[in-house]
Amino acid sequence: MNPTINAIVIGVQDMDRAKKFYGEGLGCEVAQDNPAFVSFKMRDGSSGLALYKWDALAQDAGVEPKGSGFRGVTFNYYAPSNQDVDATLELAKRAGAKIVRPAENAKWGGYFGYFSDPDGYLWKVVSTSNG
């Protein structure tokens, strides 16, 4: 089996807040909007992103909804330039994200920073360009 990731579904505590963050704040286009589920149409070539109520998603997976901290996963956005990294981090901050690692030059030659969305999911914004 060589799986394809068609959609990433994240559990959120506050559906309205998360929908506003991703939709209005980051500019993701809403594809489906249901009371317990919202999906976004992402840029061509990207997997879809969906929001599900935290407890309902845990129940769907058959696990307990309790637990916090590092979830062992990050989302990565590859920006065309260093300036786009800075602009994306600023956009996320204005939308309600917390900048957890300001943009900096990486030892491997790229440029990156991290933000967390209102539910604590980590997003790495990275550029491999030289400017």
pLDDT in tens, 72-124: 788 989 999 999 999 999 999 999 999 999 999 988 889 999 999 999 899 99
Q: Does residue 79 sit in the same domain as residue 108?
A: yes
Per-residue pLDDT averaged across 26-55, rounded? 91
Q: Does residue 56 sit in the same domain as residue 81?
A: no
Number of domains in the chain: 2
**Does residue 68 form part of some domain?**
no
Q: Does residue 55 sit in the same domain as residue 12?
A: yes
Q: Does residue 92 sit in the same domain as residue 54?
A: no
Q: What are phi and psi of 53, to 5 degrees?
A: -60, 135
Q: Does residue 88 sit in the same domain as residue 51?
A: no
**Does residue 86 form part of some domain?**
yes
Q: Does residue 53 sit in the same domain as residue 78?
A: no
Q: Does residue 56 sit in the same domain as residue 80?
A: no
| Host domain of residue 14 | 7-61
**Does residue 12 form part of some domain?**
yes
